[in-house]
């Protein structure tokens, strides 16, 4: 299995964790790792990665995003240092409860 196939399997397993009701902390860190991988791949020349693997990665990530948007995860504040674009840390219920830029109804996420 090539490295990118491992990445696709990682994304798919993360989707399974969401559907199984896995820990929001574990799912959040896994989804952030996927986002960082995508950022690293963005500047790569198109010919450097096989298009079918890239398409599989994009499709698996899109499916994961849909699962995260449907999931009822508890609200967690993104750990310090993560970009604001990592929306999966604060589901709609958490984001809707923010006051003055501070999420008062959410727990702060920290690695175990």
Q: According to the model, what pLDDT value does residue 14 have? A: 95
Q: With contact defined as beta carbons under 8 Å apart, do 109 and 79 qualify?
A: yes
> Roughly how many angstroms between the first and final C-alpha of the chain, as a whole number?
30
Residue 77: strand pairing partners: 108
- Non-local (6+) Cβ contacts of 110 within 8 A are 79
Phi, psi values for residue 108, rounded to 5°: -85, 130
Domain coordinates in residue numbering, the chain:
3-108
Site of tokens 């890239």: 54
The tens place of each residue's pLDDT in the chain, 112 residues long, gives 567 789 899 999 999 999 998 888 899 999 999 999 888 877 766 656 677 777 888 899 999 999 988 887 776 777 888 888 888 887 554 544 343 343 344 444 544 4
Dihedral (C-alpha) 68, 106, 24, 64: value to the nearest 10 degrees? Answer: 10
């Amino acid at each position: 299995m090539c490295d990118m196939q491992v990445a696709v399997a990682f994304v798919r397993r993360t989707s399974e964790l969401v559907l199984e009701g896995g820990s929001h902390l574990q799912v959040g860190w896994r989804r952030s790792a996927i986002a960082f991988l995508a950022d690293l791949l963005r500047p790569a020349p198109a010919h450097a990665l096989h298009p079918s693997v890239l398409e599989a990665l994009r499709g698996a990530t899109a499916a994961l995003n849909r699962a995260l948007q449907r999931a009822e995860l508890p609200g967690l504040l993104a750990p310090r240092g993560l970009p604001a674009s990592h929306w999966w840390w604060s589901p709609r219920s958490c984001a809707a409860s923010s006051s003055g830029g501070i999420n008062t109804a959410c727990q702060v996420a920290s690695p175990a």
